Structure 1
Amino acid sequence: MFILSLFKNIGVSLYLFIYLIIPYSAISQTLKIDFARDLENSLNARDLEFIKKNFGNDESQNITKQFSKIINDFPESKWKIKKLKSNIPNKNFLKIKVFGEKIVNGEIYILNSNFDYLFTVVNGKIDEGLIKNLFTTIRNDNKKIDISFKIPDKVLTGSKYDIDIILNKPLEEVIIAGAIKPHQVNSFFEQEILLEPLSSGGIFKMTRAPSKPGIQIWSGIIAHPEGMITFTKSINIVDKL
């Protein structure tokens, strides 16, 4: 359920994990106790029959297509899925983690993605799903870069809020490059992020939430002498906290 393109040169073309954020995916009605485990096992075993059986036709085709993309980029990726209690009526709640690594030109790129998956069940098939609290990173620095991501999970409609990507040990004489960009939830196009030199120890941005409830997505990249980090974060835009 994810997609990315590997880093190119300093003019980076970054593909988002947009299909993770599509607000029309979900999971099934008389939900069995072991459903989360079965879904996890099917994804890890690359067994798409389970998806075809529990998702509607359109969703099954979409998920199969997107699943193939993540497997193509990270062949050894693994899923961990846990069913949690939902406090929203008629909604089920899964906490999902996806992780993997890939070696390119001798460098190890590590994928780590966490998100919540809210869904209902219609006629025994997956329907009305929603991805929330998505945070995905891809990095090739072997965790040598000491970095903090201070991005809220939810904000009020129309309110101002801060996005801070902090390098806790900035380099004095070395130029670090980076950029951050908002994206539309329904966008399936490649998203290009052009790097610029960072004069301070990270990316610091004040922005304003949309005027209507929904999901806002931010993606960015940090280029550091120790490696690169790309990230994607979804923010819930709500009309009351």
Structure 2
Amino acid sequence: MRRVEHVMGFPVSLRVDDELGQEVDGEGDFEATADAVFAWLREDDARFSPFKADSEVSRYDRGELERHELSADLTEILALCEHYRLATGGAFDVRLPGRRLDPCAVVKGWSVQRAAELLTSAGARSFCLNAGGDVVTSGGPWRVGVRHPEHADRLCTVLELTDGAVATSARYERGDHIIDGRTGRPATGLLSLTVVADSLTEADSVATAAFAMGTEGIDWAASLAGCEVFAVDADRRVLRTPGFPSVAKQPAAA
């Protein structure tokens, strides 16, 4: 089964390779589960987008909700944001001065990881869920390409995942949009940084947090248990941890 929908401002693709026709929660295939996956992602976009005036995040940011009135999900998301703010010495910060509260860097990975867990709970054993280039896989193995930071039609590496997640933070889609909270200026030390971890909640959060730190973020991310890193710095040097699961080791910049 394959499906693609536009959610949270980017394409989300789902591929399930389990045989259709097997019994799944009383259904003959995974279509109903796919419906639930995309409904969950749309719901999270409505609840947690800082760009929607009636979202829980926007209402909290305007002071219309007290901390004790927040949903358990948003409370968990904000706790993760605070964890990475402290872990990066303030480089990663979702409450930058003069800007609205923006937890999107954590929300995306957290939401997609939860969606993947819906698939697993429904009995899916071999699937790939790709949310704008950030990927959760089960079974496989699956090959995932990491886009070249300067050439949209090229890959800088290909990795192989069985059960895990991969996320990339970079400047190529939205320019210098990741801010170093310590300086208030765009983080420009890296062109891209990719993290492989057990969950997309961690991979996506760590990739953004490390990117905000600049080149020092590479060693910080690499020091985290269970995280493997592939990075291209502003001088176009390629740095990777020994355990990064590359299929082919290719130069990233030429």
Considering fraction of residues, name the structure with more helix: 2
Considering fraction of residues, name the structure with more strand: 1
- TM-score normalised by length of structure 2: 0.28
- TM-score normalised by length of structure 1: 0.29
Q: Which has the higher contact order (CA 8 A, sep 6+)?
A: 1
